[in-house]
Amino acid sequence: PPQGCFACIAKPPALRQASPVLSPSSAAQLMESKSCKGDSLRPAVPCKHSVEKKTMTNPTTVIEIYPDTTEVNDYYLWSIFNFVYLNFCCLGFIALAYSLKVRDKKLLNDLNGAVEDAKTARLFNITSSALATFCIILIFIFLRYPLTDY
């Protein structure tokens, strides 16, 4: 019996060197016209696929693992809200600047710097929100109970 893989054995010798492309129906007719006795008379040709199989028995896979920067929150929307509506003493603007720094450091895979800037942005956002909310509450109190009543 001929040695080699199915792809090499199934092809007649004319198809191995053939440059013209045969349609599937003509290739099937050509295969049917060959007899089994003709296959045993075919000279042994080394299988090119067996060489490929030998080289592919132990493939090496390299996986690059990057730090997961999706866990670092940049507080971007909160900073924009504070900048537009509750910008008490420009603290909303400072929070927005730190939020943008967090995004830049996430793109550069600087995880430690991104975490530190995220903490600073959160601190400025909390401070801006608390002070602006306190001022709004004071304004409503003084509008409800003006100082002229005292």
Q: How many domains does the chain have?
A: 1
Q: What percent of the chain has pLDDT over 70?
A: 55
- Give the C-alpha separation, 93 to 87, whole Å: 7
Does the residue 45 lie in any domain?
A: no
In the predicted model, is pLDDT for residue 5 greater than 90? no
Does the residue 11 lie in any domain?
A: no
| pLDDT band with cut points at 50, 70 and 90 for residue 42 | low
Which one, of 125, 66, 53, lies nearest residue 96 by Cα? 125
Contact 91, 128 (CB under 8 A): yes
Does the residue 103 lie in any domain?
A: yes
Residue appearing with tokens 């132990």: 58
The model's pLDDT over 57-97, given as tens digits with 9 standing for 90+, comes to 666 777 766 666 568 899 999 999 999 998 889 999 999 99
- Asked whether the whole model's pTM tops 0.85, one would answer no
For the segment 103-117, the average pLDDT, to the nearest whole number, is 93
Does the residue 40 lie in any domain?
A: no
| H-assigned helices in the chain | 6-10, 13-17, 24-33, 36-41, 48-55, 76-84, 91-107, 111-144
For the segment 136-143, the average pLDDT, to the nearest whole number, is 93
Does the residue 64 lie in any domain?
A: no
Does the residue 3 lie in any domain?
A: no
Token duo for residue 106: 């996430």
Does the residue 135 lie in any domain?
A: yes
Range of 137's domain? 74-145
